[in-house]
Amino acid sequence: QVQLVESGGGLVQPGGSLKLSCAASDSSKRFAVMAWYRQAPGNEREFVSRIASGDTTTYAESVKGRFTISRDAAKNMVYLQMNSLKPEDTAVYYCNTVWLAKSYWGKGTLVTVSS
């Protein structure tokens, strides 16, 4: 069983920044891949970014150049630094990982970009 807890969401003005954090419950596990997804109201959940072993990163085109994913493998933490935020980035952001072929999700943290 894996529990993921996101934090760091909130209200920010367009052009602002936020840093999201995700903590995995069991620091003894080493997750090969950790990822961020988001779901805006009325939309399907979509991929945002992924970090894999060796710190290989992948980004959705919509966030490339603005968001940066990073991890502290020893603590099983993953972060998402979000800069130059736009109103269309408003969504609930979810942390995701896979352990023993099962996908796990956090409960999400709400990011609202509005003036």
Quote the pLDDT of residue 67: 98
Q: How far apart are the first and last CA of the chain?
A: 40
From the list 11, 85, 102, 12, the residue with the least C-alpha distance to 48 is: 85
For residues 94 and 103, is the Cβ–Cβ distance under 8 A?
no
pLDDT class for 70, splitting at 50, 70, 90?
Answer: very high
pLDDT class for 31, splitting at 50, 70, 90?
Answer: confident
For residues 6 and 21, is the Cβ–Cβ distance under 8 A?
yes
Q: Which residue has the higher pLDDT, 76 or 17?
A: 17
Q: Is the pLDDT reported for residue 53 higher than 90?
A: no
Give percent helix, percent strand, percent coil of the chain, each to the nearest 5. 10, 55, 40
What is the mean pLDDT of the segment spanning 54-64?
A: 95
Quote the pLDDT of residue 26: 77
Alpha helices in the chain (DSSP H): none
